[in-house]
Structure 1
């Protein structure tokens, strides 16, 4: 217990108490607190984007930092477990034990439903594949009357149907119709037939009428087929969907005039 004999002693005691308070405040805020919270000290965040996760983990641990994976995606052109993004960015100042939020490239691609490409064009298929993060592979043209139409779709050599599950980023090979049928048969002869009857016969056998060329000076009646190409030679074969050109006797009819 302090004893005061005079007003001066009271002032002395108050001064001592004030000094003690000042020392305690200074000691707490400028010695104890900085020592326990590393006040004024910070760590520069290293660049871990592009590193493998295991290497980044070791680097962060050496600098008393932690990481947290908050997102993952699949990029086939990058290595599995490669760090894609980081937050805070490289060079940012943070305290010890701070979490660095990262996104990582997945090891295995996610599975998605195969879109429908069949019956569409190659150009349309390219747009659809891109929207699904799939890649167009090899185009194989096969005999079919649907010229330019996609007939089948394959992944890793196996035919896949619309709705089948395939890996994201997969390469899709396509079979495309070449506009010609697969069936071969003897070339029919239409020479000497009226052009309308010849056309019906050829179309009925799955062939297409190509050019019709009118010639004058023939001994045949007007409108009669005097020549054809391909020729109907012995053993000559033709496939469904092919074109047949016809030469017809007489003048070319004027449209609207019989």
Structure 2
């Protein structure tokens, strides 16, 4: 150990140490300047502003600068096709010759989307879902249905479409909605033979009303009297009546007349 410490104090050790330090410094300088030469540090061209230009014009500018390009596309309904909407690197960034510039343009063809399940939804719910899919609502028409604004049917270019059908993004569809009024006509029930409470219950169940209530013959107990006639009467020519129609009833304790 003492010999090693004595060696560290000699001129030979100092000389070898200085040579080693100088060699490392020269080696590092050679690497530094070689890298600067290889990468052409400080040299380059500014990236032109391409956003908003037609893709053909953008490509022409890049080629004039000696730059390469790679193109990706997206679809946006509110922008014209073929326009550059994004670029990487940003404008005025210094880059080397032959650097690849990445462009995003608006595609000319709308991609297809699977039609979402909006059936039985309300109009407001359907509109929100369709907006997320990039589908627009055109005409809306109404038909008889017990639920107001419920989506019953969808058509695209006159063709009825279902859940999962492919249509172009940005398409305009038409909706058939419920009017909340139900059917305009209902079946007329035959209440002959019913007691008054039974007849009224049956009529209300069909969205009809009991009209005039009259009794015929010797009525000894109105609670057991039964309908022997009704107006209008169910027949081959009359089986449906408008909602809310009043049906007149005639009751009696006598059995109803035989049907003709």
Shorter-normalised TM range = 0.5 to 0.7
Shift of 1:207: 4.7
Provide the C-alpha distance between the structure 2 equivalents of 1:195 and 1:170, rounded to a whole number of angstroms: 55
TM alignment of 1:130-149, pairs within 5 A: 130-149=131-150
Report the number of matched residues. 184
Report if aligned partners of 1:117, 1:153 keep a CA contact under 8 Å in 2: no
**1:51 lines up with 2:53 in the alignment:** yes
Mark the CA change 1:78 to 1:208 in structure 2 (over 3 Å): closer, same or farther. Answer: farther
Question: Which digits, 9 at most, give the CA deviation of each residue in 1:178-227, with x for residues without a partner?
Answer: 02345447999xxxx967743531432x4599xxxxxxxxxxxxxxxxxx
Give the aligned partner of residue 256 of structure 2: none
Provide the C-alpha distance between the structure 1 equivalents of 2:125 and 2:48, rounded to a whole number of angstroms: 45
Mark the CA change 1:131 to 1:37 in structure 2 (over 3 Å): closer, same or farther. Answer: closer
Structure 1 residue ranges without an equivalent (≥5)? 1-28, 210-231, 246-258
Give the aligned partner of residue 97 of structure 1: 98
TM-score between the two structures when normalised by the length of structure 2: 0.59
Question: Which digits, 9 at most, give the CA deviation of each residue in 1:23-74, with x for residues without a partner?
Answer: xxxxxx79xx97x9765332111111121111111111122222112x3211
Mark the CA change 1:187 to 1:89 in structure 2 (over 3 Å): closer, same or farther. Answer: same
TM-score between the two structures when normalised by the length of structure 1: 0.59
SS of the residue 2:58 aligns to? helix
Structure 2 residue ranges without an equivalent (≥5)? 1-32, 190-194, 211-231, 233-239, 247-260
Give the aligned partner of residue 66 of structure 1: 68
Mark the CA change 1:54 to 1:187 in structure 2 (over 3 Å): closer, same or farther. Answer: same
Give the aligned partner of residue 217 of structure 2: none
**1:180 lines up with 2:167 in the alignment:** no
Shift of 1:133: 2.4
Report if aligned partners of 1:153, 1:159 keep a CA contact under 8 Å in 2: yes
Give the aligned partner of residue 11 of structure 1: none
Report if aligned partners of 1:109, 1:167 keep a CA contact under 8 Å in 2: yes
SS of the residue 1:56 aligns to? helix
CA RMSD of aligned residues (A): 3.7
Shift of 1:162: 0.8
